[in-house]
Amino acid sequence: MNNSKNILIVGAGFTGAVIGRELAEQGHQVRIIDSRSHVAGNCYSERDEKTGIMVHTYGPHIFHTDNQVVWEYLNRFTEMMPYVNRVKTTVNGKVFSLPINLHTINQFFETTCSPSEARALIESKSDQNIVDPQTFEEQALRFVGKELYEAFFKGYTVKQWGMSPAQLPASILKRLPVRFNYDDNYFSHKYQGMPKEGYTPIVENILNHPNISVELERAYQEEDSEGIDHLFFTGPIDSWYSYRFGRLGYRTLDFDKFYTEEDFQGTAVMNYGEENIPFTRITDHKYFAPWEKHEGSVCYREFSRTCMPDDTPYYPIRQMGEMELLNKYLSLAEQENSMSFAGRLGTYRYLDMDVTIAEALNMARIYLDSIENGEKMPVFTVNVR
C-alpha cells in the first residue's frame, strides 16, 4: 500500500488493540506499547497457578451489550460461553437478590406481594415530599424510601465512592432501580457472556496481525513519537501533560485474595451493603466459568479507596472539581496535532467493554476517512465533557 502510515498506539487494552487491528487490516504499520507486562489492560485474566481457576486480575468482568456489531466483532476472536450475572448482597445478617426485584422486596418486607401490590408498597415507602431531587440520596429516597435506600444503596455507595450519597448528584440514579418481577439478571442487555478462555486471548487474537508489533513493559517515551504519522494515546490524559495542573481523581481497588478448599459462597458476586464491613464485595472467580469444574474457590475481597500516584486508576470520580481540572487538560489537548486520546483513561470516563470496542471501531473508521479525505483527524471522537 502506497499510503501506508506509521501508527503508534500507547496502551494494549481493548481500545489500543481494536484501533490497531482496524488500521493494520487497511495496510498501515502499527506499533503498540504498554508499560505493563501483559496485554488486555484492565480486562486481563489469567489462570490462578494453584487452582487453575480463571481469575479476572483487575476485578470481575462480565461482557454484556445490545450492540450487535460489537458482539459479532468479539465473536470473531473468541468463543463466548453463555453466562448470566446474578448478584447477591448480604445486609443485616440476611442475603438478598440484586438488583432489587420482587424476590428482594418480598424477603425484605416479609411479604408475598404480587407485582402490583409491590408497586403500591414501594410507592407508599417512597418520600413524596422530595419534589426535585438534587442528590443521589434524595433520588433514592424518592424512588424507594428510607428502608431500601439504607439497606441497598447507602453503605455500599459510601464504601465505593468514599463519600455520602448526599454529596453525589441525583443523575447517578437515573431510573427506578427496582424490578416488579422475579428477573434477577443483573444486566438487561440482549447479549451477555463470558469468553471461554478469559479475556486475554481475545486481545492477543485481535493483536495477532502481521502489521502489528507489540512491546510490553515499555512506558511511552518522547522518542517513540519520532517518524510516526499518528499517535493514539489510551493512557491517562493528565499523565500526557505530566500532571501539570494536578491529578484527575480516581478510585482504586485493593484485592485481598484468598483460597478455600470448599466452595466459598456458592455464587460469583456477593455484595456487602453495610458500612461497617470494610469491603464492598467478594467475588468467587470459578463461578465466572460455570462450564468448568473446580472443587475449591479462589476469591477476591474488594476494597475501594482514593487512588494515589502509584496506584492503578479504576473509576474516574468526575465530580465538579475533577471536571474543572479535566477542562484544563482538554483545552491543551484540543490544540494537539497528529494525536488522539481514546479509551477509559484517555477520555477520563467509565466505559464498559462494549462501549470501549464500539468507540475504538468508530475512531479507527474516522482516522481512515480522514486520511482518504485529507482532513485533520480529531483529537477526540466522542464528547468527553
Ligand X SMILES: Cc1cc2nc3c(=O)[nH]c(=O)nc-3n(C[C@H](O)[C@H](O)[C@H](O)COP(=O)(O)OP(=O)(O)OC[C@H]3O[C@@H](n4cnc5c(N)ncnc54)[C@H](O)[C@@H]3O)c2cc1C
- Active centre residues (catalytic): 175, 179, 251, 281, 302, 350, 352
Of the two residues 242 and 331, which places its CB atom closer to ligand X in the complex? 242
Place of cell 495542573: 245
Q: Which amino acid is at 353?
A: M
220 part of the interface to ligand X, by CB under 6 A: yes
Q: In the range 109-138, which residues lie near ligand X by CB under 6 A?
A: none
Distance CA 236, CA 197 (A): 29
Binding of residue 356 to ligand X (CB under 6 A): yes
Using the contact rule CB under 6 A, the part of the chain among 8-16, 127-135, 258-266, 321-329 near ligand X is: 8-16
Residues 33-62 interacting with ligand X (rule: CB under 6 A): 33-36, 41-43, 59-62
As measured in angstroms, the least distance from the Cβ of 345 to ligand X is: 6
In whole angstroms, give the CA distance from residue 176 to residue 237.
Answer: 34
The minimum distance between CB 173 and ligand X, in angstroms, equals: 19
Please provide the DSSP assignment of 56-89 as one string: ETTS---EEES-HHHHHHHHHHSPEEE----EEE
Angle between helices 68-77 and 200-207 (to 10 degrees): 80
Order of all β-strands in the sheet with 339-341: 212-215, 29-33, 6-10, 230-233, 339-341
For residue 135, what is the DSSP state?
Answer: B
Q: What distance in Å separates the CA atoms of residue 114 and residue 181, rounded to the nearest whole number?
A: 8
Specify the residue, 13 or 193, whose C-beta has the smaller distance to ligand X: 13
Residue nearest ligand X, CB atom distance: 41
Nearer to ligand X, 63 or 108 (CB): 63
User: What would the grid cell of residue 369 be?
Assistant: 476517512
CB of 25 to ligand X, least distance (A): 19
- State the cell numbers at 29: 504499520
What distance in Å separates the CA atoms of residue 194 and residue 201, rounded to the nearest whole number?
12
Residue with smaller CB distance to ligand X, 71 or 108: 71
**What is the footprint of ligand X within residues 300-339 (CB under 6 A)?**
314
Binding of residue 367 to ligand X (CB under 6 A): no
**Interaction residues for ligand X, span 180-219 (CB under 6 A):** 219
- Residues near ligand X (CB under 6 A) are 10-16, 33-36, 41-43, 59-63, 219-220, 234-235, 239, 253, 314, 343-345, 351-354, 356
